[in-house]
């Protein structure tokens, strides 16, 4: 729970605030950009909510915050934020909210599908929260959990135990050590089922993978995201723990595929038509080669 005594001085006066425990994961500034902004090494409130819609977004950020760093002086109904998750993004794809501190606030996603099409998919692990679990179970539970890489596994074991889902992860990121049920080997793309393609993308980590759903939704983990400052797709050289040259080669592989959504674990999501997204990816690769 956020502490009023630790309220950051960068917050504007008023109801909502961010305290000094903020780890600068940018979850709040992405969920409620009209309320929160990154002021450097942390986030703060730069505009207090003025209506019901803005208050709801602020409460969603409060619930999603991995460190409980967002507080409110007034007493708002917590369900205003809790009941918003999972948050529908498009078609049958949801953002889970409830990010985990152990994954540095990484975003996780839920795909809902009929059992005959393979059942629901959880991509990376959110925080293990009873409120979220109940909502996921009401949507049909989870059949398979796809893990992009070792940094964002969070509470995967607890979700496995509660939902009896089968986890999928690359062996080069410690899948066997984690007890994952289905391991990915090698670096060739392969079809998990009729709608899901697994594409190994070493770079951020050795066993990093991305998941392409219906040639429309690309779940990118820590491989690829949108840069609001540069207004283009980007990668993060400072956290290329395994190899930046390998990450460039992995990025070039993605030029062979069509997608309209980039849904990352860290960084901003982005949606555009397939042709525009391909052009942005080409720009990203060219930029990476200069770094």
Query: Per-residue pLDDT tens for 180-211?
Result: 999 999 999 999 999 999 999 999 999 999 99
Residue at 178 is within a domain? yes
Residue at 79 is within a domain? no
β partners of residue 90: 93
Listed residues 29, 55, 74: the one ending a domain? 74
Residues 70 and 93 in one domain: no
Q: How many residues does the chain have?
A: 291
pLDDT one-digit tens code per residue, 242-291: 999 999 999 999 999 999 999 999 999 999 999 999 999 999 999 999 99
The CATH number of the domain where 116 resides is what?
Answer: 3.60.15.10
Mean pLDDT, residues 26-50 taken together: 96
- pLDDT band for position 77 (cuts 50, 70, 90): very high
* Tally of domains within the chain: 2
Q: Evaluate whether 127 touches 98 at the Cβ level (below 8 Å).
A: yes
Residues of the domain holding 282: 85-288
Q: Is the pTM of this model over 0.85?
A: yes
Mean pLDDT, residues 220-244 taken together: 96
Residues 51 and 184 in one domain: no
Q: Evaluate whether 79 touches 55 at the Cβ level (below 8 Å).
A: no
Is pLDDT at 75 greater than 90 in this prediction? no
Give the integer Cα–Cα distance in Å for 130 and 239: 32
Phi/psi at 139 (5° precision): -90, 5
Residues 66 and 97 in one domain: no
Q: By C-alpha distance, which of 196, 199, 215 is closest to 207?
A: 199
pLDDT of residue 275: 98
Specify the 3-state DSSP secondary structure of 110: strand
Listed residues 74, 95, 123: the one ending a domain? 74
Residues 139 and 252 in one domain: yes
Give the integer Cα–Cα distance in Å for 29 and 11: 13
Is pLDDT at 45 greater than 90 in this prediction? yes
Residue at 261 is within a domain? yes
Residue at 12 is within a domain? yes
Residues 211 and 108 in one domain: yes
pLDDT of residue 70: 98
pLDDT one-digit tens code per residue, 48-72: 999 999 999 999 999 999 999 999 9
Residue at 80 is within a domain? no
Specify the 3-state DSSP secondary structure of 93: strand
pLDDT of residue 41: 93
- pLDDT band for position 1 (cuts 50, 70, 90): confident
pLDDT one-digit tens code per residue, 138-164: 999 999 999 999 999 999 999 999 999
pLDDT of residue 263: 98
pLDDT one-digit tens code per residue, 84-134: 999 999 999 999 999 999 999 999 999 999 999 999 999 999 999 999 999
Residue at 270 is within a domain? yes
Residues 38 and 92 in one domain: no
Residues 55 and 118 in one domain: no
Residues 148 and 265 in one domain: yes
pLDDT of residue 268: 96
Phi/psi at 247 (5° precision): -70, -35
pLDDT of residue 239: 95
The CATH number of the domain where 65 resides is what?
Answer: 3.30.70.20
Residues 18 and 116 in one domain: no
């Amino acid at each position: 729970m956020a502490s009023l005594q630790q309220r950051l001085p960068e917050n504007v006066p008023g109801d909502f605030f961010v305290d000094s425990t903020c780890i600068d994961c940018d979850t709040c500034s992405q969920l409620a950009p009209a309320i929160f902004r990154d002021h450097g090494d942390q986030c703060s409130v730069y505009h207090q909510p003025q209506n019901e819609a803005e208050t709801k977004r602020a409460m969603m950020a409060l619930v999603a915050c991995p460190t409980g760093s967002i507080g409110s002086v007034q007493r708002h109904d917590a369900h205003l934020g809790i009941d918003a998750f999972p948050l529908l993004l498009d078609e049958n794809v949801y953002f889970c909210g409830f990010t985990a501190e152990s994954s540095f606030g990484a975003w996780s996603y839920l795909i809902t599908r009929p059992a005959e099409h393979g059942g629901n998919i959880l991509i990376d692990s959110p925080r293990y929260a009873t409120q979220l679990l109940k909502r996921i179970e009401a949507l049909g539970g989870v059949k398979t959990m796809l893990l992009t890489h070792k940094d964002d596994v969070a509470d995967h074991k607890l979700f496995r135990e509660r939902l009896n889902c089968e986890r999928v992860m690359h062996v080069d990121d410690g899948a066997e050590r984690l007890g994952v049920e289905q391991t990915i080997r090698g670096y060739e793309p392969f079809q998990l089922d009729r709608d899901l393609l697994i594409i190994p993308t070493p770079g951020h980590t050795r066993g990093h993978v991305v998941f392409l759903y219906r040639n429309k939704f690309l779940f990118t983990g820590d491989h690829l995201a949108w840069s609001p400052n540069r207004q283009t797709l980007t990668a993060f050289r400072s956290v290329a723990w395994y190899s930046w040259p390998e990450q460039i080669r992995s990025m070039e592989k993605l030029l062979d595929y069509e997608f309209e959504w980039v849904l990352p674990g860290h960084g901003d999501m982005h949606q555009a038509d397939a042709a525009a997204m391909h052009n942005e990816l080409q720009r990203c690769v060219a930029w990476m080669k200069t770094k």
